[in-house]
Chain A
Amino acid sequence: MQEATFLILTALADGSQHGYGIITDVQKISGGRVRLRAGTLYTALDRLRADKLIGVDREEIVDGRLRRYYRLTPAGTRRLAAEAARLHANANAALTRLNPAGGMAT
Chain B
Amino acid sequence: MTDSASLERGYRRVLACYPRAFRRESEQEMLAVLMATAREGQRRVGLAEAADLIRGALRMRLRPASRPPRTVFTAIKLMYAGAAVELAAWITVVVTAGSVKSAMVHRAPAQWHAALIHLLAVEVIGPIAIGLWLWMAWANGRGNDGARLAFASFFALMTLSLLGWLAEGAVVYARAELIACAVLCLIQLAVVVLIFNKKSNPYYRPELAQR
Binding site for B on A (CB under 8 A): 18-20, 23, 37-43, 46-47, 50-51, 62, 65-68
Contact = CB atoms under 8 A, between A and B. Distances in A.
Given A65-B28, A65-B32, A66-B32, A43 B56 contact: yes
B33 A39 contact: no
B54 A67 contact: no
Contact of A46 (B22, B28, B32): B22
Nearest to B35: A65
Nearest to B27: A66
* A19, A38, A50: most-surrounded residue (chain B CB, <10 A): A38
Q: Is chain B's binding surface mostly helix, strand, loop or mixed?
A: helix
Contact of A37 (B26, B49, B60): B49
B55 interface: yes
A20 B31 CA distance: 11
Given A39-B52, A43-B56, A23 B26 contact: no
A103 B36 CA distance: 46
Interface of B: 22, 26, 28-34, 36-37, 48-49, 52-57, 59-60, 63, 65-67
A48 B9 CA distance: 28
Given A37-B49, A39-B52, A40-B52, A19 B60 contact: no
Contacts of A46: 22, 26, 60
In the complex, the 10 A-B pairs of residues with the closest C-beta atoms, listed nearest first: A39-B56, A39-B52, A39-B53, A43-B56, A37-B52, A65-B32, A19-B33, A66-B28, A20-B36, A38-B33
A73 B49 CA distance: 30
B66 A50 contact: yes
B188 to A, nearest CB: 29
Contacts of B56: 38-40, 42-43
